[in-house]
Copies of this chain bind each other. A is one copy, B any other.
Amino acid sequence: MDSFVFHSPTKILFGKYSIEKIGAEIKNYGVNKVLILFGGGSVKINGVYERTKKSLSDYGVADIEFWGIQPNPLVSKVREAISIAKDVENGIEGILAVGGGSVIDSAKAVGIGVKYQGDIWDIFEDVKKKPNKGLPVFTVLTISATASEMDIGAVLSNPEKKLKIGIQIGFPVISAIDPSVQFSLPWRQIMCGAVDSLSHLMEQYFSRPNESITSRQINLALQKSIIECVKKIKSNNEDYNARANFAWSVGQALFGFTKPGLSGDQNIHYIEHAMSAYNEKIAHGEGLAVISDAYYPILYKRGIASDQFEEWAQTVFGTNSVDEALKKFHDLYIFWETPLKLNDIQLNGNDIDAIVDIFDRQQKIKRPSAIWPLSKEDAKEILKAILKK
Contact = CB atoms under 8 A, between A and B. Distances in A.
Nearest to A1: B244
Contacts of A228: 213
Contact of A218 (B11, B14, B213, B221): B221
B8 A15 contact: no
Contacts of A15: 1-4
A188 to B, nearest CB: 23
A77 interface: no
Contacts of A11: 5-7, 9
Copies in the complex: 2
A218 B222 contact: yes
B9 A9 contact: yes
Contacts of A257: 252, 257
Given A1-B244, A15-B4, A214 B225 contact: yes
A29 interface: no
A220 interface: yes
Interface string A6-20: 111111111111100
Interface in A28-74: none
A261 to B, nearest CB: 7
Interface in A270-303: none
Contact of A213 (B5, B213, B229): B229
Contacts of A220: 221
A13 B5 contact: yes
A212 interface: yes
A136 to B, nearest CB: 14
A283 to B, nearest CB: 25
A206 B259 CA distance: 27
Contacts of A2: 15
Nearest to A11: B7
A220 B229 CA distance: 17
The 8 nearest A-B residue pairs measured at CB: A3-B15, A217-B221, A221-B221, A1-B244, A213-B245, A6-B12, A9-B9, A7-B11
Interface of A: 1-18, 211-215, 217-218, 220-222, 224-225, 228-229, 240-242, 244-245, 248-249, 252, 257, 260-261
Given A1-B244, A3-B16, 17 more contacts: A1-B241, A3-B14, A3-B17, A5-B11, A5-B13, A6-B12, A211-B245, A212-B245, A213-B245, A213-B249, A217-B221, A217-B222, A217-B224, A217-B225, A218-B218, A220-B221, A257-B257
